Chains A and B, each alone.
Chain A
Amino acid sequence: MEEYINSLKKNIDKRDLLLALQDFQNKFGYVDQAFIEQLSLKTGIPSGKIYSIASFYNQFRFIRPGKYHIKLCSGAACHVNAKENLVAELYKLIGIKDRESSPDGKYSLEFIPCMGACALGPVMSINNNYYTQLKIKDLKKIIHDLDEI
């Protein structure tokens, strides 16, 4: 990561701010504070402002993702399909909440607006494997299997 930050251009156009953030996140899975500080020096935008802009968008994450990055849909259809029960169960199983990573770095959790499969809700994805019409029983098994690895 240090290498990537050092290899940044000397001056970055203010208009390329979001592109730079996206590029960084695609490579490292999240936006790091060190990167925001560097970006601030190179664009001339204060770091507080960059964080404000980045936190406005759901697409940016600010925590290092775990080995298994769990995305849980919190769209309306998934919500009415008892998503909240799944959230409570997930908390019981891995002890983390929205936008948190477990201390051992194994899991991270993120609620996202919609995955576009509303008819199949509640929807969850773990590292781009999708689980649909998820029941608590299924969830327990999935996490249990991952715990074994």
Chain B
Amino acid sequence: MEFNITVNRNSIKAVKGETILAVLRRNGISVPTLCNIPELSPTGACRICVVELEDSGELVTACSTPVAEGMKIFTHSRKVIAARKTIVELLLTNHQDNCLYCEKSGDCELQDLAGDLNIRERSYVGFGVPRSPKTDRSDPGIVRDMSKCILCGRCVRICEELLGVCAIDFVNRGNNIAVDTVFQKGLFYSNCIHCGLCITACPTGAILEKAVGAQVCEKIDNKDKNSTIILAGSTIADLALHFNIRKFEDARNYLVAALHDIGFNNVLTLGYGNEIFITEHAKKLAMSAGKQNPPLIISDCPAVRKFIRTEMPDMEKYLSKIPTPQQIMGKILKSGESQTEILVSASACVAHKYEAVQNDNSNKGAPDVDYVITTRELLGLLKTHGVVLPYKKKESPDKPSGSETSAGVLFETKGGISETILRELFYMSGGQKYPKKIFEVKTDKPFIEYEFELNGVIYKIASLHGIDTLRQKKNEIINGSYLFVEIRSCTAGCLNGCGHLHSKDPEVQKKLKKIITEFDETNISDTAGKNPFIKGFYKQIGKESLFDYD
């Protein structure tokens, strides 16, 4: 049912059942929010979105109040503004004042709100009691500093509603309430899958990645040790967007030159690891083609791998045992001819930080990948060294990776695993013209199926994104007679990983995708097999595959 409501004396259309906030947003009227996440259930916890009802003078929360016919609303009356200001002042009561030293400074929603509402002095002095005894540093990737928490519950709802993991939830009650893990033992000891969505959800600096930038700088200054940095495709694309560079390869080559100057002996791209990952799987699938039932679950996502291990142990036997591209690179670079002693991986993912410290990803106690930094940390590193792109020169990535094929980059986008493995399968079977952009039209859906014909046999594959979708589709995956299923925990693949630069632009993922697709369209070597370094690599190890299949 459609009817009209009056907002700031203008009449706008609303549909029964919508919240006031949804109607306002659709009509481009901005109301500040803090605890609201559009796709999740509203709680009305922070009350920053209050609007005034003209008839009663009442203040109601826009995010959780349904519209009613004939409603008259003021979104920015004096009363509303005063209320919002008091709300933020109260939120700040128990909040620290040390924004200057906070990593989130500049991207903090609370800071922005305080600025927008022109709060220039502390109105209320709290007890200064931190809500949790100490900062939770147990996890290798995520740090939770509860003294900066404003209890908006965004991380709690993301973890519960989007993932169903519930690693963190409100504990205790009233004055003692805090967001914490089971038995308050710390994230590492909980059922957390380290996906890092809580980092993207947090409006303040209460949940952040564990920063290792300073340690990395210290290590690379030691000239006796050979240092290598691996750049993930999504990280390069993100920095290209940040510095307004249109072409992917330009941004990559500027970055390679800049990082050489900063002090890294070798700068490689993760594309090489991705290509090996693709080749290994394509070979495995070609060997067992048609006999794959139930399907092979392919995931380069450490969060998905942990989730399946802990929450769906019956699915674990279907999960591919080939390490993730980052760890493949680690294993290659830390052994054999390569002289790498310090290996740093820059990716858009916090789960990789957790992955790098796992036992099976180390050699005699020394981790294969020493440090994992997020895109944000890499940008910090560039800023500290005064690097701005375009840089004064361009250089190509070092051996063994060389210039990656576009498949190695496309791999990281949503549906990328499926598409690139498919290309390689077609390429290996005799260079048939392979289908491109197979998921392009329906990339908004979390579960996509695709059928194709290869050598006269019809195969079905699927691409799944999001842990909640995985829960729902579990039986379909097992019984669906797919050749393989691609699974990632982030809804847009690695392009909205939690290590990306904080952006307020809702179109950011589309723009990142565009940079990568343009690179793919203009690149002739568009499948892993076309990379001469990959061919050389397998010739060098003298084996058909790097990992045992069973």
Report chain A residues within 8 Å CB of B164: 46
Q: Which stretch in B137-145, B170-178, B421-429 binds the other chain?
A: B170-178
Q: Mark A25-54, 1 if CB is under 8 A from B, else 0.
A: 000000001001000000000111111100
Tell me the bound Cα distance from A57 to B176 in angstroms.
12
The distance from the CB of A91 to the nearest CB of chain B, in whole angstroms, is 16
Query: Is A4 part of the binding interface, using a Cβ–Cβ cutoff of 8 Å?
Result: no
Whether the pair B171, A51 counts as a contact (CB closer than 8 A) is: yes
Whether the pair A52, B169 counts as a contact (CB closer than 8 A) is: yes
The distance from the CB of B340 to the nearest CB of chain A, in whole angstroms, is 39
Q: B159, B165, B171: which has the most chain A beta carbons within 10 Å?
A: B171
Q: How many A-B residue pairs have CB under 8 A?
A: 45
The distance from the CB of A98 to the nearest CB of chain B, in whole angstroms, is 10
Whether the pair A47, B191 counts as a contact (CB closer than 8 A) is: yes
Q: Mark A43-69, 1 if CB is under 8 A from B, else 0.
A: 000111111100111000010000000
Report chain B residues within 8 Å CB of A48: 159, 165-169, 181-182, 190-191
Query: Is B127 part of the binding interface, using a Cβ–Cβ cutoff of 8 Å?
Result: no
Tell me the bound Cα distance from A126 to B168 in angstroms.
34
Whether the pair A56, B166 counts as a contact (CB closer than 8 A) is: no
Tell me the bound Cα distance from A104 to B183 in angstroms.
21
Report chain B residues within 8 Å CB of A47: 166, 182, 190-191
The distance from the CB of A62 to the nearest CB of chain B, in whole angstroms, is 6
Whether the pair A46, B183 counts as a contact (CB closer than 8 A) is: no
Report chain A residues within 8 Å CB of B159: 48
> Given the known A-B contacts A33-B183, A36-B182, are A49 and B166 also in contact in the complex, defined by CB atoms under 8 Å?
yes
Report chain A residues within 8 Å CB of B341: none
Tell me the bound Cα distance from A46 to B193 in angstroms.
13
Q: B166, B167, B170: which has the most chain A beta carbons within 10 Å?
A: B166
Report chain A residues within 8 Å CB of B191: 46-48
Tell me the bound Cα distance from A93 to B176 in angstroms.
26
A-B contact pairs, 16 of them (CB 8 A): A33-B182, A33-B183, A36-B182, A46-B164, A46-B166, A47-B190, A48-B166, A48-B168, A49-B160, A49-B166, A51-B169, A51-B181, A51-B183, A52-B171, A55-B171, A55-B172
Shortest beta-carbon contacts, A-B, top 6:
A46-B166, A52-B169, A48-B166, A51-B182, A55-B171, A49-B166
| Chain B interface (Cβ < 8 Å from any Cβ of A) | 159-160, 164-173, 181-183, 190-191
| Chain A interface (Cβ < 8 Å from any Cβ of B) | 33, 36, 46-52, 55-57, 62
Other CB < 8 Å A-B pairs besides A46-B191, A48-B182, A48-B191, 10 of them?
A36-B182, A46-B160, A46-B167, A47-B191, A48-B168, A48-B169, A49-B160, A51-B181, A52-B166, A55-B172
